[in-house]
Every structure is written in structure tokens, then in C-alpha cells.
Amino acid sequence: MSIGKGHLQRRRRAAASEGPRRDAVRKSLLTAGPLSSLLYVVFTDAIAASLWDGYRRTEQMVSELFAVGSPGRDVLAPFTWVYTVLFVAFGAGVWTSVRGNRAFRVGGGLLTAYGLWNIMGSIYPLRLGDDTSIPMHIVATNIQLALMVAAMCFVAAGFRGLMRAYSIVSLAVSALMGMIAFMAAPGPNLVLGIGERISIGAFLLWVAVLGAALWNRPPPIANRNHLQYVERRPYE
């Protein structure tokens, strides 16, 4: 056996063994998405809201729970960093789940940016009773919403069939209810509380469904001629 042929076979064996490891990492990253959605609901409406006597989930904003001066602030401040790490990991998982699909790649990058932008929300939080904190909080929130909308658009473009339709419907529901809730602010009122939660819930559920859809996607396979990974697209 020539040295060149032996080296080529070793490279092929290494590529074959690397594939399952990469897929395990990819699936671990994707798991962070549904987990982040679940924890968001648990830490906001289940834990933080219960610490605030008189807080009305159906009439008040979720943002108030994160505000400085909120009884649940001590719980949600550290959770913000946990959520950020989980969502950045999820964005990386989306990025690594696709090859040769530019729309998906951009969508994964935007999801990562969305996760990182949570840091700005912690830098410019609402302060209960302090109206001067509102403008910068609105700016930070609107930029994050723009990242969310853009990410959902690009991911929808990357899919075909039912997942594309579901992404478009989720985006429409989240954006529409978000605008309705914004117009109903500052509240408290039913349109604000319920509308905002429908908007947030549509996005959180979409993240979980996206993670499941990409989890079931067959992993990239080794190209025998070039020892590179190529993508199979069963959902497109």
C-alpha cells in the first residue's frame, strides 16, 4: 500500500468517526432552544409573577417582571444570563444543522444575535416608577424584535412545505399580537397582558418546533470523493 493511499484511508476513517460526534454536538445545541422556551415560561409567569402580590398575568406586561424594583427581579436577573447562553447555543445549533442553504445560515446567525441582544435588555431595564427608563428600554426591545422577525423570515425561506407555512403563521401571530399589545400599553388591561403573552408564546413555541424539526434532520454525510460534508434536505 502506498503512503498516499494509506494517508487517504486514515483521513476517510477520521471523517467517518467525526460525523457522529458532530451530530451529537449539533443535537445538544438544538436542545437548548426548547429548553430556553420552557424555562422562560417557568421563570416569568410561574415563579417571578407568583412573588409579586397583586400582579395580574392577564393584564400586565412581562417586561414589568424584569423591571428594577419588581419582587421577581432577583430571580429573573440571573435567569436572563442563563437564557442568553441557551439561546446563543440554539442559534449555533441552527447554524450547524444546515449546509449550502444561505437563508438558514443567515437565520441561525440572526437567532444568535437575538440571544446576545438580551444583554442590552439587562443594561437598559425598566425601572418601576421611573419613566426616564422607558425610552432606552423601548429602543433595546425594538432592536431585539427586529432581529427576531428577521430570523423567522430567513428560517421560513430556508424551509419548504409545512414548516415554512408554520413559520410564516407564527411570525404573523407574534408580530400582530405584539403590535396590538404595544398600542394597548401602558395598561393594565386584558389586551395588553393577553396580547403580549400570545406574541411571546408564538415565538417560544416556534423555537421549540424549529429545534425538533432540525433535530430530526439527517446529519451531514461524508463525501467520499472530497472528504467534505454535504447536506441532505428532506424537509425542503
Quick one: pLDDT band at residue 211, thresholds 50, 70, 90? Answer: very high
Residue 188 reports pLDDT greater than 80: yes
Task: Identify whether the C-beta of residue 177 lies closer than 8 Å to the C-beta of residue 195.
Answer: yes
Q: Is it the case that residue 164 has pLDDT exceeding 70?
A: yes
Looking at residue 16, its pLDDT comes to 44
pLDDT of residue 215: 86
149 compared with 225, residue with greater pLDDT: 149
Q: For residue range 33-86, what is the model confidence (pLDDT) as tens digits?
A: 999 999 999 999 999 999 999 999 999 999 899 999 999 999 999 999 999 999
Determine if the peptide bond prior to 188 is cis (ω within 30°): yes
pLDDT, mean over the chain = 84
1 pLDDT more than 90: no
Q: Which amino acid is at 46?
A: A
Instruction: Quote the pLDDT of residue 19.
Output: 64
Amino acid at 83: Y
- Given this model, what pLDDT does residue 131 score? 83
Query: DSSP states of 150-206 as a string?
Result: HHHHHHHHH--THHHHHHHHHHHHHHHHHHHHHHHTT--SHHHHHHHHHHHHHHHHH
User: Does position 218 have pLDDT exceeding 50, yes or no?
Assistant: yes
More confident residue, 209 or 8: 209
